[in-house]
Structure 1
Amino acid sequence: MTAGPTALVSLTKLATYEPMAVLQAMRTCLEPFGGMATFVKPGQKVLLKPNLLGPFPADQAVTTHPSIVRAAAILVREAGGRPYIGDSPAVGRLSQVAGVTGMLDVVAETGAPLLELEEPGEFEVPGHGIFPRLVLARTLSQVDVVISLPKLKTHSQMILTGALKNQFGCVPGLLKSEWHFRLQERKWLAALLLDIHRAIRPCLAIMDAVVAMEGPGPSAGHPRPLGVLLAGTDFVAVDAVACHLIGLSPAQVPSCRAAHEQGVGETDLQRLRLVGPDWRTLRVSDFQPPPQPAEVLRLLPLPPALLRGLRRQWTLRPVILPGRCTRCGICEERCPVRPSAIHPRACPSHQLDDRRCIRCYCCHEFCPAHAIVLRSSRTSRWLPLRPVARGVNRLLGWLAALRQDRTH
């Protein structure tokens, strides 16, 4: 992943998913890098890794648009490579998801076969990550080049789904839920994303921000036209630019924050070479972020166990909407807690076990019917968090000052 003053992020305006317009825009976006031929050599097997979260139609902005994948496959073929389209969806099998999202049409048009990322294999993590080895899709070791095609979306747990978060789809099947259970805090999940990136070593990210998702993403948010395509070899830099386009600071996004702390990639726009239209002309001022009412607790200097208890009192909790729920059981199946903390077939008062729920929001993310919403707790409705946090912070500061006075 390229870092430092020469890290390059290319931006290209693109207001439509019309196939020829997308192809031309992608050519323009890759020109500053020397085109697709810089990354793909003749005969190489190339994995195109879009975001295929689940069986959602393309117009819902949950998945990477098929026109983006189509254009990338065409450019790979022009460079002499052999493109494949692969992901491990959170909901449904790849063939099923490909049919609903429009990827099967891309397969038919470009001849790029689907590649399932389900069989597990062990990969070494180079550098100084938190895990020396990871279990990822074995198929990754059978391709020569990995090109990531992320969708710009909000994420109720990780704030942003972008270039880095897209690599989580290389974790096979239900192992994703296991990671959510093992690493319940955002900072550890963010560190895991960096380790996955180190292990996979994708060479290029081309981000679909033509129509992004705002609000309670990554599956229940709302489509929001941004009209831009982004590309870069520094995935952290691509995510950082995406943050600024939607009014976020990279420091608010756990994966970008972890990258900055580890010295991976570049989050400072002043140290990036940005090519294309001025990003400030593409920025939107009213982009709706995901709800994060308990994040302010992170600022309190309290023991982790106490912070976890307080966060539970104010954090958003999953609620099943009876009129939308189809009782498919996917939320129960994908809950990383065992036994599951959510029970869609139970009576409403027993559908969520608050004591077991770890607030990973996998149920909300994976529900194909958008039947799970995130709502404030009674505590947060009666006792607003920010004044409480401010008061506790002042009290702790006063006690620390008092203790220091007594020691002198």
Structure 2
Amino acid sequence: MRYDVSLVRCESYEEPRVRAALIEALDAIDGLAFLEKGMTVAIKTNLVSAMAPESAATTHPTMLGELVKLLFERGAGEVIVGDSPGGLYNAAFVGRVYKVTGMRELEKLGARLNDDFSQKEADYPEGKVLHHFTYTAYLDKADAIIDFCKLKTHGMMGMSGAAKNMFGCIPGVIKPEYHYRFPKHDDFARMIVDLDCFFKIKLCICDAVVGMEGNGPTMGTPRQIGAVLASASPHKLDLAAASLIGLTKADVPTLEAAYERELIPADVSELSVYGDPQAFLVSDFKTIPVHGSLEFKKESSNFFGKIIKVFLSSALRSRPTVKKDECVGCEVCLKICPAKAIVMEKGKPVIDREACIRCFCCQEFCPKGAMKVKRTLISKLLTK
């Protein structure tokens, strides 16, 4: 039997444990069946920023190293590891990210860190919302793409997993443009699913040995989960991964978008999973509420009913806020904001609530973690 998702215990980043867990997880889903002798394989990893592996913001280098070894052992001709972090997409900027995140160790194993920073344009008429986009050209050099993500909380999407990881194919400096093009969470999620479908990923793996809780995806707190997940589908993997940290389809917009297209069932219980998700559940994992869980039982045809629904939907959405005592006035948030909703007053950022599209770029890239995700008062009163 080929499982939809494999879920294997891995309590540390010690090489023997990681290797054993990866082999078990991949064998359970026949995950390397696509691999042919001499193939070029691109590993799209999560290198969101220049942060050390201990921060739990990026895919751990030991996980990647053991996968690189397995790929070469099973016949791969070349392995390229890459990502486009937030920021400049050039050799100097990305090179620093490679160094700090521990990626240089992979070169000793024969892997090539992507050094092609050219970009390509894609027309995608089949996309639901994304019909034209710019992407990192190195992915075209591969015969197969592996999506190797990190399990983290995310201010805009609730969770960063395999689906969200492919947003890293958009060159860093133009990522804010896509937030501005798709300011609504649901549409942004649909755009992510379009990217996942376009690239026809062969294999997805999730580093959930140590995940990130709280103020993710960069400034949260490392949290032991002790798992490695694998699947041929980024959305099935994410549905299983979400269950480990107490989230359901309704909590993660990319899962809702995948469900719309019948790419996943409604609940993890409907997947065939190698391993027991309940055994890995971290019940007190600190998540980020994307929106409240208030449900409208019936679609109102009344004008005022519709107005109330729109008001509540907006009022229930979390928003970024500034902890001024932690802010150093570096202006990163000012420069990254796609909606130009931030101004500096007395050396501190002030957010224009009317202009803010709640993309949480400011929160994701604040180097001091001074930008937080805040639930509104009405959300706290009316929702769980």
TM class by shorter chain equals 0.7 to 0.9
Q: Map 1:195-344 onto structure 2 (within 5 A).
A: 195-275=194-274, 277-292=275-290, 294=292, 296=294, 315-337=317-339, 340-343=340-343
The whole-number CA distance in structure 1 between the counterparts of 2:228 and 2:190 is 26
SS at match of 2:172: coil
SS at match of 1:110: coil
SS at match of 1:174: helix
2:26 to 22, 27, 30: 30
Structure 1 residue 318: Cα displacement: 2.9
The whole-number CA distance in structure 2 between the counterparts of 1:34 and 1:388 is 45
The whole-number CA distance in structure 1 between the counterparts of 2:199 and 2:125 is 10
2:97 aligned partner? 97
1:88 to 84, 89, 92: 84
Alpha-carbon spacing, 1:292–1:252, altered in 2? closer, same or farther (3 Å): closer
Structure 1 residue 374: Cα displacement: 2.9
**CA deviation map 1:288-321 (0-9, x unaligned):** 2114465648888578887666555564443334
1:122 aligned partner? 121
TM-score with structure 1 length normalisation?
A: 0.83
SS at match of 1:290: coil
2:170 aligned partner? 171
SS at match of 1:55: coil
Alpha-carbon spacing, 1:316–1:127, altered in 2? closer, same or farther (3 Å): closer
The whole-number CA distance in structure 2 between the counterparts of 1:349 and 1:86 is 35
Calculate percent identity across the aligned residue pairs.
32
Letter of the structure 2 residue corresponding to residue 160 of structure 1: M
Number of residue equivalences: 375
1:40 to 14, 31, 35: 35
**CA deviation map 1:114-169 (0-9, x unaligned):** 11575321234374533333322122222111101100111111111111110000
The whole-number CA distance in structure 2 between the counterparts of 1:256 and 1:211 is 22
1:399 aligned partner? none
The whole-number CA distance in structure 2 between the counterparts of 1:293 and 1:239 is 19
Structure 1 residue 346: Cα displacement: 2.8
Structure having the higher helix fraction is: 1
The whole-number CA distance in structure 1 between the counterparts of 2:260 and 2:374 is 32
Bigger Rg over Cα: 1
The whole-number CA distance in structure 1 between the counterparts of 2:172 and 2:87 is 9
1:110 aligned partner? 109
2:142 aligned partner? 143
SS at match of 2:81: strand
Any conservation in 2 of the 1:117–1:171 contact (CA below 8 Å)?
Answer: no
SS at match of 1:227: strand
**CA deviation map 1:29-57 (0-9, x unaligned):** 11123463x13222211111111110111
Superposed CA RMSD: 2.8
Structure 1 residue 229: Cα displacement: 0.4
Letter of the structure 2 residue corresponding to residue 280 of structure 1: Q
The whole-number CA distance in structure 2 between the counterparts of 1:376 and 1:8 is 35
- Point out where structure 2 has 5 or more consecutive residues left out of the alignment: none
SS at match of 1:150: strand
1:74 aligned partner? 69
Structure 1 residue 388: Cα displacement: 6.4
Any conservation in 1 of the 2:329–2:348 contact (CA below 8 Å)?
Answer: no
The whole-number CA distance in structure 2 between the counterparts of 1:304 and 1:333 is 36
Greater Cα offset, 167-176 or 291-300: 291-300
Letter of the structure 2 residue corresponding to residue 336 of structure 1: P
1:393 aligned partner? none
- Point out where structure 1 has 5 or more consecutive residues left out of the alignment: 391-408
Alpha-carbon spacing, 1:244–1:319, altered in 2? closer, same or farther (3 Å): closer
